[in-house]
Chain A
């Protein structure tokens, strides 16, 4: 079966750095997305990785290792507004998105 694993919840301090991991086992791979979802709101697109390596976008970076079935989202200089759930999703061989359950990130002052 297809499976995406993320930690359920993480806590970090304002101004610090946090890494949210995602591991996947899917039938084929055509890219990996990270989305941010604030409580009670819609998911919004953060990043897309299809090649191994690090993609940097401001305070957020996303890393992919296809051979290991592994990705992480790195958030730097954490702000209170970064408190949200972060969803990992993989595009499989049929170009369907398979979603992880999400990681709830709590930022403390």
Chain B
């Protein structure tokens, strides 16, 4: 069972470079999320999507853009990478926002910005 798949798993970028992180889910979930996880801090929501073609800002959206052209895919873009964006990025999906619906996570992308 694939669940939520993130690519790439690791990446090193230079300051100012751009890149796209890909998230794919095969559970037919409506909702998808991008988080970052930094040492000593809780997961912080970057952007989320409540369905194909829709996106919304989370807690820390600056410096990131997203797109949800297909229901199963949610892309996170860094336009001009900065060292402060060094982090572990997790994608998650859920069947809906009913409070009891858990989020299912991908294995993460470890991103270093030099």
- B-binding residues in A (CB < 8 A): 4, 8, 30-31, 33, 41-45, 48, 50, 87, 89, 91, 95-102
Known: A4-B42, A42-B105. A31 touches B97 (CB 8 A): no
Contact indicator per residue, chain B 56-71, by CB within 8 Å of chain A (1) or not (0): 0010000000000000
Which of A42, A95, A102 makes the CB contact (< 8 A) with B106? A42
Tell whether, in the assembled complex, residue A99 and residue B105 are in contact, meaning their CB atoms are under 8 Å apart.
no
Which of A45, A87, A89, A98 makes the CB contact (< 8 A) with B104? A45
Tell whether, in the assembled complex, residue A31 and residue B107 are in contact, meaning their CB atoms are under 8 Å apart.
no
Q: Does B75 contact A (CB under 8 A)?
A: no
* Chain A residue nearest in CB terms to B100: A48
Known: A95-B97, A101-B40. A45 touches B45 (CB 8 A): no
- Chosen A-B contacts, 15 in total, with CB atoms closer than 8 Å, are A8-B40, A33-B102, A42-B107, A43-B43, A44-B105, A45-B102, A48-B100, A87-B43, A89-B42, A96-B58, A97-B45, A97-B103, A99-B42, A100-B42, A101-B40
Tell whether, in the assembled complex, residue A48 and residue B45 are in contact, meaning their CB atoms are under 8 Å apart.
no
- A-binding residues in B (CB < 8 A): 4, 40-45, 58, 90, 97, 99-100, 102-108
Question: 5 tightest A-B contacts by CB?
Answer: A99-B42, A42-B105, A30-B99, A45-B102, A31-B99
Residues of A within 8 A of B43 (CB): 43, 87, 89, 97, 99
CA distance A97 to B34 in the complex (A): 12
Residues of B within 8 A of A48 (CB): 100, 102
Tell whether, in the assembled complex, residue B42 and residue A43 are in contact, meaning their CB atoms are under 8 Å apart.
no
B60 to chain A, nearest CB (A): 12
Tell whether, in the assembled complex, residue A101 and residue B99 are in contact, meaning their CB atoms are under 8 Å apart.
no
Known: A87-B43, A99-B42. A50 touches B105 (CB 8 A): no
B66 to chain A, nearest CB (A): 16
Residues of A within 8 A of B97 (CB): 95
CA distance A90 to B100 in the complex (A): 11
CA distance A48 to B42 in the complex (A): 18
Q: Which of B42, B45, B105 has the most A CB atoms < 10 Å from its CB?
A: B42
